[in-house]
Amino acid sequence: MKAKTVGMGVLNSLVPVLLAFVLGGIVIAFMGENPMQTYSILIDKSLLTPKGLLTTLHYAAPLVLTGLAIAVNFKAGIYNMGVEGSVLLGGFFAGIAGAYLPATLDPTVLKVTCLVVGIACGMLYVVVPAILKACFHVDEMVVTLMLNYALAKVLEFLSTGVFRDQGSGYVCTPTIHEGAMFQRMASAKMTPFFFVSLVAFAVMFVVMNHSKLGFEITAMGKNVEFADAMGMRVRRKIIVLMLVSGALAGLAGAGYMLSDQYHYTLGFSGNPGLGWDGMLVALLGNHSPTGILIAAVFYAALKTGADNINLYSSVPKELVTVIQGLIILFLAAKLLDSRFGLRGRLKARFPHRHDGPEGTADVVGADGAKGA
């Protein structure tokens, strides 16, 4: 039974991906390029060369963390949209710590301190939404979405004002000390931060699959009233789980700062952002830690391939963005269908002509018999 459930989860994730690649292949064909050759370049340059694979793993590290941050809440029925905010706040203050703490500190101490600052800031960001959700039943989705935009403006103000690097021609914070940076391995982008994300993955794998808390997360997601009636202390769990999510996202932002960006800019998290990319990763991974790890590597491979695809073909790298958008579209359609039964509603609203309304065939048959 469990194997069947896992198989269905894998199939549900693969179908949107395959459909997106098929439509992407049609677009490539219309551009006069060979879809198979283009996709082979994408795979080869992101997974089959040592440098490409290490770069892919580098991009995957924060996505593993943000995917887990989304999953640990969504699986419990908590729709926390503040993961992106925790990433930004954690990354910002990890960068401030890395730039303003004494450069003479031991590099390991400096790195750990910056990561702890990022984790603490990520958790701090979700404290108010967590309390509002747990104690006053305020919709966490609305609160966290609104806070994301407010936080972005606050960080923009700070990075263009008091924390701006006056010696730079760009709007950014000061560059972190070299001792705070995760050094790259060989000539690739990968840093030891990837192994930090693997440790977090291992912890969350055990928590979500082999612990009492993991069972309670699943129970809350299926029926929160029943979970509360069974004495699972749902209010406390909501606060704890949102804090865990904030910690993972803050760690992602801090690690991204120390391993990739080195200072905060207005586009620090990318477009649409590590938090939103983590949501796609969590959906592709079916909220399973193992699935999230695989989905993060896949999504990162698309990014690595996009950086190389226009170097070896005339296909622009924006094609990968199109494929990502199609994956999101098909995933959203699948989720809406499973949640609201859209196919059933459409069939009921637009029945086939030969089916007719209920009872029509019997009436016609009776009239025919009467006429005969």
Cβ-based neighbours of 91, under 8 Å, separated by 6 or more: 118, 253, 254, 256, 257, 261, 264, 268, 269
User: Which CATH number fits the domain 55-336, given the four candidates 3.40.50, 1.10.287, 1.10.10, 1.10.3470?
Assistant: 1.10.3470
Reported as a single tens digit per residue, the pLDDT across 121-158 is 999 999 999 999 999 999 999 999 999 999 999 999 99
Q: Which residue has the higher pLDDT, 343 or 136?
A: 136
Q: In which band, very low, low, confident or very high, does the pLDDT at 359 lie, cut at 50, 70 and 90?
A: very low
Give residue limits of the domains in the chain: 55-336
- Residue appearing with tokens 């993060």: 296
- The pLDDT of residue 347 is above 80: no
- What confidence score (pLDDT) does residue 353 get? 52
Least reliable range by pLDDT among 12-16, 224-228, 271-275 = 12-16
- The pLDDT of residue 77 is above 60: yes
- What confidence score (pLDDT) does residue 8 get? 63
With a threshold of 0.75, does the pTM exceed it? yes
- What confidence score (pLDDT) does residue 366 get? 44
Proportion of the chain above pLDDT 90, given as a percent: 73
Reported as a single tens digit per residue, the pLDDT across 190-200 is 999 999 999 99
Contact 58, 94 (CB under 8 A): no
- What confidence score (pLDDT) does residue 370 get? 44
- What confidence score (pLDDT) does residue 10 get? 72
Q: What mean pLDDT do residues 320-344 have?
A: 80
Q: Rounded to a whole number, what is the distance in angstroms from the first to the last CA of the chain? A: 56
Reported as a single tens digit per residue, the pLDDT across 292-312 is 999 999 999 999 998 888 888
- The pLDDT of residue 337 is above 90: no
Q: What mean pLDDT do residues 50-73 have?
A: 96
- What confidence score (pLDDT) does residue 12 get? 76
Reported as a single tens digit per residue, the pLDDT across 208-267 is 999 999 999 999 999 999 999 999 999 999 999 999 999 999 999 999 999 999 999 999
Q: What mean pLDDT do residues 198-208 have?
A: 98
- What confidence score (pLDDT) does residue 364 get? 44
Contact 258, 94 (CB under 8 A): yes
- How high is the mean pLDDT of the chain? 89
Q: Which residue has the higher pLDDT, 348 or 19?
A: 19
